[in-house]
Amino acid sequence: MNHGGRQINQAERVLPELGASTLRCSRFVLLALLLLVCGAAALAIDCPLSKWCLNCRWPEYVERVLQIGESFGSGIGAVMLILVAFQLAPERRRMIPRVVAITFGAGVAADLLKLLVVRVRPHHFDFAGGVWQTFGEWLPVGSGGSGHQSLPSGHTAVAVGLAIALVWFSRRGFWLFFGLAALAACQRVASGAHYLSDVLFAAALASSIAFVCLVPGRLSAWFERRESPGLSRFLAHDGSGNGG
């Protein structure tokens, strides 16, 4: 029984506070709904804001800062940060698969949604019409090319997914990681690659993917069995042993 107790203590040191994490998971639903509402409201200012951003001459130092945000939302940047987390926290390496699932699950979901509807990117739009003229046909399946795949922002989805995953993984860095995610979203709007509503909808999508991966359920249980093998073995042994 002492051996089992040592396994429990080790699992507790390695994993986040699962109870506290469970309580916070429900907030992802409210966050996603709030972001969806904000995204819908942002449609009213999408065109004037994007037109202003395209006509604005950003100072060089602002562009450099924004480029940092773009790197946080890129696939290569996300892989590099995940590798850093893997190297710096060897006792938590079993949690990396869930970090990868949240981060790139959000990115893949965004890419799939791009195949469902055409939306012309700001730097491909002439702004002769209103916001509804930025939308096109349904189910284009990529026929319009990248210039017609504005909704949602893949970079923002990856950045927000990565921020949520790293905060869950490290239990710290909230302002740093979400600040970088916000910077990634700002870069996409400032560069004319996306409208404001695109990045808000992408953030809502990433929050939903994080909810699916973190909320108690079959997928979360699947991850937990692989993240805490010592704890799982002890509970299985205790359940079949002398316990009354």
pLDDT at 193: 96
Question: What's the half-sphere exposure (Cβ side, CA atoms, 13 Å) at 63?
Answer: 9
Supply the range of the domain harboring residue 216.
26-233
Query: Nearest-CA neighbor of 85 among 161, 21, 167, 158?
Result: 167
Is 242 domain-assigned? no
Indicate the burial class of 242 (C-beta count within 10 angstroms; 0-12, 13-18, 19 or more).
exposed
pLDDT at 201: 98
pLDDT at 16: 46
Helix axes 229-239, 2-14, angle to 10 degrees: 150
Q: How far apart are CA 86 and CA 84, in angstroms?
A: 5
Helix axes 75-88, 96-114, angle to 10 degrees: 170
Q: End-to-end alpha-carbon separation of the chain, Å?
A: 14
**Residue ranges, the chain, pLDDT below 70:** 1-26, 142, 229-244
Number of domains in the chain: 1
Is 194 domain-assigned? yes
Reading the block at residue 27, the tokens are: 């907030």
Residue written as tokens 């055409």?
118
Is 4 domain-assigned? no
Is 1 domain-assigned? no
- Three state DSSP letters for the chain: CHHHHHHHHHHHHHCCCHHHHHHHHHHHHHHHHHHHHHHHHHCCCHHHHHHHHHHCCCCHHHHHHHHHHHHHHCHHHHHHHHHHHHHHCHHHHHHHHHHHHHHHHHHHHHHHHHCCEEECCHHHCCCCCCHHHHEEEECCCCCCCHHHECCCCHHHHHHHHHHHHHHHHHCCCHHHHHHHHHHHHHHHHHCCCCCHHHHHHHHHHHHHHHHHHHCCCHHHHHHHHHHCHHHHHHHHHHHCCCCC
pLDDT at 25: 59
Is 238 domain-assigned? no
pLDDT at 220: 85
Is 45 domain-assigned? yes
Q: How far apart are CA 140 and CA 242, in angstroms?
A: 62
Is 241 domain-assigned? no
pLDDT at 78: 97
pLDDT at 27: 77
pLDDT at 1: 47
Give the CATH number of the domain where residue 112 resides.
1.20.144
pLDDT at 22: 46
Q: How far apart are CA 224 and CA 232, in angstroms?
A: 9
Is 129 domain-assigned? yes
